C-alpha cells in the first residue's frame, strides 16, 4: 500500500490527456469478449478513440488472442455457453501473460449463470472491474443485484463493496453512476463528468469497459505516470467528458450516440482541462467529506 | 367477445398518448430474446422510448427473467440452438407468470426450424403476434411464406389469417405493412401512419415487437383504458408517427435511423393527435368498407 | 483465359453505374453468414444500397437458403461452432446451385480455427474472396497474418498471393487497402477511391463483402456487360465513392457512418463518372507500371 502513487486532481487530468495522446499514437489492440447487444458500439467506440478492437470469443482462439493482445475485456451481458468457455480460456491466458484485463459483471446478482461465472473469473484477478453499484455490490457478496443493466443502488453505497473487491483480488474497481467512483481499496477518485444521455444508449456503460482496457494497455507502454488506478480514472474521465461534448449538440439519444463517437475521436487534453470535475482522496476520507477538487 | 372494450379512433389516439406518458413514468423492464442483427437497434429503441431493455437469451436465465420482467419479446430472426432452448424456457415462464409477451415469427414459412419453433411457442399463447403479411399467413397455416423479412403478401390478405391466429391462441395480431392492421379476431384497427424509410433500416419491424411488449406492460399497470388490442395499436401508432417525424428531416436511411431514435424519445400526445390516421371496425365491417376515421 | 472480357476504366465506370441501377431495380436477396460485430451495419448497408439482406446462420436453414438466395456472403469474423457448421452447409449449397458467393477470411492467419475453416471452404470455390493484404497472403499460404482485422501488409505485396488464390479456386480476389486491387489472376483493376474514415468504422470492410455479393448477383441477372471481375470491381467502386461522398460532410467516425448509409442510397452513375480513380491492366503489366486510367 505504501508504494501506491499519490495522485491529485490536476495531475490526473493532465496525465489523462497525455495518456490519451499515447493511446492514439500506439493504437493498442483490445480483445473483447462482450455481449451481442453492444459489440458494434463497443468496436466503434474503440476505433473512434484510436484503439484497435478485435472481438474473439470462441474456444480455441480466445486464449491465444488474450495472450497476444495489449488489453482485454470480458463483459458478461449475454454469456452463451461458447462465450463462457471462451472467457474461461481467455482470463487465465491474460493473467498469465500479463495482459491487463477488465471484468464487466453485467447483471450479476440478478441472474445466476453469469453470477457464478463472474466469481470464477475473479480468481484470475482482473486488472479492473467496472460495473454499476448493484453489480459491484452483488459481486462483492452484498446486495441483491439490480434488475438488469440498470443501477438501482447508489454509487456511494457501493464504495465499501468496491474496496472489498479491490482488496480481495488486487483489482481497481470502477463504479458507474451520476458520479463515477474509482478505487484500488485505499485511494479513491470521483469523477462527476458525463451526461444522462449516456444512460439512454445501450452500451453506454459496456463500451467504457473496453475503453478502460485500452487505457490500461496504453499506461503500461508509457511513462505517463499513471498506474492502474490512474489509467482507469483516465478512461472514465475521457469517456465522460466526450459524453458532455456530444450532449451539447444532441437532439436525443440517437444523435447523441453518433456525436459521442465523433467526440471520442476529437476529445483532447484541452477539453479535459476545461471540464474535469475530479476529486481524489482515500475511501475513509471520502466518507467523511471532500478532499481536493479540480474545478 | 361481448366483454371486449369498444374503441374508436379518437379515443384510441388520446389513450395512446396517455399510455406513452405512463410508460415513460414507469419504465417497464422488457425482456428480449431477439436476433443478432437487431439487438442493438431494439435496445436503443426501447431506451429512447423510455423503457428498460434486457437481452437475456441463455438457458438457465431466460425462464427466470421472463417471470420477473414486465413484458417480453421472442423474435425468431436468428434462432441458434441456445436461443431456441431459451425461448422454450421463457415462453412458458411468461405465460405462467402473466408477463405479457410478443412473438415475432421472422421468416416463418420460408425456413423450417423457426417455423416449427413458432408453432411450438404458440401453445404458450403469446399476448401479441407481430409480423408481416407473409409471416402471419404462414404462421396461420396459409401461404408459402416470404423470402425472408420482406413482405410479399398484402396486409389485407392476411386479415383472415390474423383472425384465425387471434381466435386460436387468444392473441392480438399485428400485421405490418403500408397500412398496419391490428386485430383480436373481432375488432380491427388500421393505422396508415409510417414512412417507407422504416423498411430501409434493419430492425424497423423487429423493434416494433419490443415496443409492443413495452406498451402491453404499461397498459397492465395503469387504468388508461386500453386492453391488449388497444395497447398493441397504441404501440404501432406511436412507433409509426415517430417514423414520420424522423423522415421529415432525413437525407436517407442512415440519418433516418438516427432521427427515429430521437423521435421515439420526443414523440408525444400532440404529435399523435396531429398525425394519427386510424380506422376502427370489425374484420367483417372492414372487409366491406371503412368505418370511423380519425383524420 | 482468352475468353475473359476485356475491360477499360471508362467502360468499367459506366457499366458500374448501370449495374447499380439494375441492382436497385431488382433488389437481389443476399444471404449473409457474418460476424456478430457487423451484422447490423452490413444489413443496413445492403438495405441502403437497394438489396435485400437476410442473415441465416443456423444449421438446417443455411443450406436451404443459400440455394434460394441471389448471392451469399460467408464472413469468418466471429465463427462460433453453429456458424461454422452453417457455413459448411451453405458453401456447398451455393456452389451447387450456382449462387455467387463471397468469402471474407477475417483474421485468417492470425487465428487457427477460422484459418482451417477458410481453407475448407475454398474447396467450394467462392466466386469472390475479399480481404485485406494480410488475410489474402495468409489464405494463399504466405505471410503470418495480421493482428486481427487490421491490414499490416501492403496491398501491392498481396498481388501475387491474390493471383494464386484466383488461379487455384477460380475466384475473383479483392484486396482492400488505400488502393483496392481486384484480380482474376490475369486482369487487374486498381481503385484509388475511398476515405480513411472507412477504417474507423467497424464493418467498413466486412460490409463490402456483402455488397460484392449483391453486385455479383445483379450482374448475373442482366446484360450490363460485367463478368465477376467487373462486378466485384463495380462493388468496390460504388462503395468507395459512397465513402468519399460521406466523408465530405462528416465530423468524425460516428457521423461518417451515418452519412455513408445515406450515400449508399444516393450514389449514382454521375458520382462514379465524376470521381472514379480506376486503373486496369494485367498483374504483370501492373507490376511494371500504370496502364489506362480514368481520371
| Three-class secondary structure assignment of chain C | CCCCCCCCHHHHHHHHHHHHHHHHHHCCEEEEECCCCCHHHHHHHHHHHCCEEEECCCCCCHHHHHHHCCEEEEECCCCCHHHHHHHHHHHHHHHHHCCCEEEECCCECCEHHHHHHHHHHHCCCCCEEEEEHHHHHHHCCCCCCCCCCCCCCCCHHHHHHHHHHHHHHCCEEEEECCCEEEECCCEEEEECCCCHHHHHCCCCCHHHHHHHHHHHHHHHCCCCCCCHHHHHHHHHHHHHHHHHHHHCCCCCHHHHHHHHHHHHHHCCHHHHHHHCCEEEEEHHHHHHCCCEEEC
**Average pLDDT value for chain A:** 91
Is it the case that residue B286 has pLDDT exceeding 50? no
| Statement: residue A146 has pLDDT above 60 | no
Indicate yes or no: CB of A54 within 8 angstroms of CB of C147.
Answer: yes
pLDDT at residue B69 above 70? Answer: yes
Nearest to C44 among B36, B114, B202 (CB): B202
B201-244 pLDDT, tens digit each: 999 999 999 999 999 999 999 877 899 999 999 999 999 999 99
Contact of C257 with chain B, judged by CB distance below 8 Å, is answered with yes
pLDDT tens digit at each of 295 positions of chain C: 445 777 899 999 999 999 999 999 999 999 999 999 999 999 999 999 999 999 999 999 999 999 999 999 999 999 999 999 999 999 999 999 999 999 999 999 999 999 999 999 999 999 999 999 999 999 999 654 444 444 445 666 799 999 999 999 999 999 999 999 999 999 999 999 999 999 999 999 999 999 999 999 999 998 778 999 999 999 999 999 999 999 999 999 999 999 999 999 999 999 999 999 999 998 753 443 334 443 3
Q: Sheet harboring B278-282: ordered strands across?
A: B52-55, B29-33, B71-75, B101-104, B128-132, B172-176, B180-183, B187-191, B278-282, B292-294
Give the range among A273-282, B2-11, C113-122 with minimum mean pLDDT. Answer: B2-11
| CB of B16 closer than 8 Å to CB of B225 | no
Average pLDDT over residues A245-271: 98
Q: Which residue has the higher pLDDT, A279 or B145?
A: A279
Residue B61 touches partner A, C-beta closer than 8 Å: yes
pLDDT of residue C66: 98
Cβ–Cβ of A35/B55 closer than 8 Å?
A: yes
- Give the 3-state secondary structure of residue B222: coil
Which residues have a Cβ under 8 Å from the Cβ of A121 and sit 6 or more positions away?
A: A74, A87, A88, A91, A103
Chain B CB contacts of A200 below 8 Å: 47-48, 265
Chain C partners (3+ C-beta pairs within 8 A) = A, B
How confident is the model at residue B199, as a pLDDT?
Answer: 96
Contact status, residue A98 vs residue A89, Cβ threshold 8 Å = no
Give the pLDDT confidence of A54-105 residue by residue, as tens digits: 999 999 999 999 999 999 999 999 999 999 999 999 999 999 999 999 999 9
| Closest residue in chain B to residue A150, using alpha carbons only | B52
In this predicted structure, what is the pLDDT of residue C142?
65
* Cα A148 to Cα A247: distance, rounded to the nearest angstrom: 25
Predicted pLDDT at B269: 98
Question: Residues of A within the annotated binding site?
Answer: 55, 130, 176, 203
Per-residue pLDDT band for B149 (boundaries 50, 70, 90) equals: very low
> Could you give the CA distance from residue B68 to residue C140 in angstroms, rounded to a whole number?
53
pTM: 0.93
Nearest to C39 by CA among C18, C54, C58: C54
Would you call B37 an interface residue with chain A, using a CB distance cutoff of 8 Å?
no
B64 touches A at CB < 8 Å: yes
DSSP bridge pairs for C130: C174
Q: Judge whether A202 is closer than 8 Å to chain B, CB to CB.
A: yes
Q: Predicted confidence band at A154 (pLDDT cuts at 50, 70, 90)?
A: low
Which residues of A belong to the annotated binding site for substrate? 55, 203
Residue of chain A with shortest Cα separation from B33: A78
Q: In what order do the strands lie in the sheet with C180-183?
A: C52-55, C29-33, C71-75, C101-104, C128-132, C172-176, C180-183, C187-191, C278-282, C292-294
- Whole-angstrom distance, CA of residue B4 vs CA of residue A165: 55
Separation CA B130–CA B213 (nearest Å): 10
Residue of B29, B36, B261 with shortest CB distance to A252: B261
Residue of chain B with shortest Cα separation from C57:
B78
Q: Chains A and B: how many Cβ contacts under 8 Å?
A: 91
Assess C65–B contact: CB distance below 8 Å, yes or no. Answer: yes
Query: Which among A39, A82, A265 has CB closest to C253?
Result: A265
Residue B265 Cα, gap to closest chain A Cα (Å) = 7
Whether residues B254 and C44 touch (CB distance < 8 A) is answered with yes
Please indicate whether, in this complex, the C-beta atoms of B29 and A149 are within 8 angstroms of each other: no
Burial C140-179 (b: 16+ CB within 10 A, else e): beebebbbbbebebebebbbbbbbbbbeebebbbbbbbeb
* Whether the Cβ atoms of residue A224 and residue A269 lie closer than 8 Å to each other: no
pLDDT of residue B156: 63
Q: Among C27, C39, C46, pick the best mutation site for testing chain B contact (most B Cβ within 10 A).
A: C39
Q: Which of A76, A77, A145, A253 should be substituted to probe chain B, the one whose Cβ sees the most B Cβ atoms within 10 Å?
A: A253
The Cβ of residue B164 has, within 10 Å, a number of other Cβ atoms equal to 18
Q: What's residue B154's pLDDT? A: 64
Chains in touch with A (3+ beta-carbon pairs under 8 Å) read B, C
CA distance C4 to chain A (A): 39
Length of chain C: 295
Residue of B nearest to A80 (CA): B58
Task: Find the DSSP H helices in chain B.
Answer: 9-26, 39-49, 62-68, 81-97, 112-122, 133-139, 159-169, 206-220, 228-247, 253-266, 269-275, 283-288
Contact C252 A261 (CB under 8 A): yes
pLDDT, tens digit, 9 for 90 and up, residues B169-209 = 999 999 999 999 999 999 999 999 999 999 999 999 999 99
Which residues of chain C have a CB within 8 Å of the CB of B132?
A: none
Q: CB distance C202–A47 less than 8 Å?
A: yes
How far CA A84 is from CA of A77, C19, C77, in Å, comes to 11, 45, 18
CA distance to partner chain C, nearest, from residue A65 (Å): 8
pLDDT at B3: 58
Contacts of A56 in chain C (CB under 8 A): 78, 107, 111, 148
Residue A188 sits at the chain B interface (C-beta within 8 Å):
no
Q: Bigger pLDDT: B122 or B146?
A: B122
- Do residues A254 and A197 make contact, with C-beta atoms less than 8 angstroms apart? no
Pick from C39, C40, C58: CB nearest B113: C58
Taking the Cβ of residue C78 and every Cβ of chain B, the question of whether any pair is shorter than 8 Å is answered with no
Calpha distance A166→A217 (Å, rounded): 19
Task: Tell me the angle at which helices A228-248 and A253-266 cross, rounded to the nearest 10 degrees.
Answer: 130
- Closest residue in A to C80 (Cα) is A58
Is the Cβ–Cβ distance between C291 and C279 less than 8 Å?
yes
**C-beta atoms of A254 and B48 within 8 A:** yes
**Is the Cβ of C240 closer than 8 Å to some Cβ of chain A?**
no
Please state the rounded mean pLDDT for residues A12-23. Answer: 97
Backbone φ and ψ of C140, nearest 5°: -80, -5
For chain C, say whether B38 makes contact (Cβ under 8 Å). Answer: yes
Q: What is the pLDDT of residue B285?
A: 38
Cα–Cα distance for residue pair C242/C272, rounded to 1 Å = 9
Contact at CB, B78 and C58, closer than 8 angstroms: yes
Q: Tell me what pLDDT residue B7 has.
A: 83
C38 CA: distance to closest CA in chain A (Å): 6
pLDDT tens-digit series, residues A188-225:
999 999 999 999 999 999 999 999 999 999 999 987 78
Judging contacts by C-beta atoms under 8 Å, the chain C residues touching residue B134 are none
Contact with chain B for residue A144, Cβ under 8 A: no
Chain B within 8 Å of C261 (Cβ-Cβ)? yes
CB contact under 8 A, B39 and A37: yes
Amino acid at each position: 500500500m505504501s508504494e501506491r502513487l499519490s495522485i491529485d486532481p490536476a495531475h490526473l487530468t493532465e496525465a489523462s490527456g497525455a495518456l490519451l495522446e499515447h493511446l492514439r499514437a500506439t493504437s493498442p489492440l483490445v480483445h473483447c469478449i462482450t455481449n451481442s447487444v453492444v459489440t458494434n458500439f463497443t468496436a466503434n467506440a474503440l476505433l473512434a478513440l484510436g484503439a484497435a478492437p478485435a472481438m474473439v470469443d470462441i474456444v480455441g482462439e480466445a486464449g491465444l488472442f488474450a495472450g497476444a493482445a495489449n488489453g482485454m475485456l470480458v463483459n458478461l451481458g449475454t454469456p452463451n455457453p461458447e462465450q463462457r468457455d471462451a472467457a474461461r480460456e481467455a482470463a487465465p491466458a491474460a493473467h498469465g501473460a500479463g495482459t491487463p484485463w477488465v471484468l464487466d459483471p453485467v447483471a450479476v446478482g440478478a441472474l445466476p449463470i453469469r453470477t457464478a461465472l463472474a466469481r470464477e473469473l475473479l480468481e484470475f484477478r482482473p486488472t479492473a472491474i467496472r460495473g454499476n453499484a448493484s453489480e459491484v455490490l452483488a459481486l462483492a457478496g452484498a446486495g441483491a443485484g439490480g434488475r438488469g443493466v440498470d443501477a438501482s443502488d447508489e454509487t456511494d453505497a457501493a464504495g465499501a463493496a468496491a474496496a472489498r473487491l479491490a482488496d480481495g483480488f488486487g483489482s481497481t474497481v470502477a463504479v458507474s453512476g451520476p458520479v463515477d467512483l474509482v478505487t484500488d481499496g485505499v485511494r479513491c477518485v470521483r469523477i462527476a463528468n458525463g451526461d444522462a444521455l449516456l444512460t439512454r444508449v445501450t452500451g453506454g456503460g459496456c463500451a467504457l469497459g473496453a475503453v478502460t482496457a485500452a487505457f490500461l494497455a496504453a499506461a503500461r507502454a508509457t511513462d505517463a505516470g499513471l498506474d492502474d488506478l490512474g489509467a482507469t480514472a483516465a478512461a472514465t474521465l475521457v469517456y465522460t467528458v466526450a459524453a458532455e461534448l456530444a450532449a451539447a449538440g444532441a437532439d436525443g439519444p440517437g444523435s447523441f450516440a453518433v456525436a459521442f463517437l465523433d467526440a471520442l475521436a476529437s476529445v483532447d487534453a484541452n477539453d479535459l482541462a476545461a471540464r474535469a470535475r475530479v476529486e481524489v482522496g482515500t475511501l475513509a476520507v471520502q466518507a467523511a467529506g471532500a478532499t481536493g477538487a479540480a474545478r
